[in-house]
Amino acid sequence: MANTAILGHSFVTRLERAKTGLLDDVLFFGKGGATSISLIHSDVFKKFMATDVSKVFLQVAGNDISAMSTLEGIVGNIDKLVRSILEKPDPPNNHYREYLLQIPSTRDDGHRL
């Protein structure tokens, strides 16, 4: 039985199609075009939530980036996704740590990021 899942957008669906027997013990949950938030509301996410895996790798946020997106918004959406995963009846049992990511608010040339 698989104890690892990969959850994300179209890259995950392509990875699943391309696997050559090396990842037979991995479950793939991909939804093309999904953002971190739309993934939470998808059938793919519901299927993922019904599985029992001890590890999950997220491949997300590529579709969250737009001309109107902000760093805070993207990080907040990923946080909502992670918190939704941790609401599973049997969440992945790895140890979770909080990491502080410090990103300057301006580039070296003075423009806002």
Domain ranges of the chain: 4-87
In this prediction, residue 98 has a pLDDT band, given cuts at 50, 70 and 90, of very low
Number of helical H runs and strand E runs in the chain: 4, 3
Q: Which residues contact 15 (CB under 8 A, 6 or more apart)?
A: 6, 23, 28, 30
Tell me what pLDDT residue 29 has.
96
Per-residue pLDDT of 72-91, as tens digits, reads 999 899 999 988 998 887 77
pTM: 0.76
Tell me what pLDDT residue 16 has.
87
Per the structure block, which two tokens stand in for 78? 């990923």
Per-residue pLDDT of 7-49, as tens digits, reads 999 999 998 888 777 777 899 999 999 999 999 999 999 999 9
3-state secondary structure of 46: helix
Distance from C-alpha of 32 to C-alpha of 10, rounded to nearest angstrom? 4
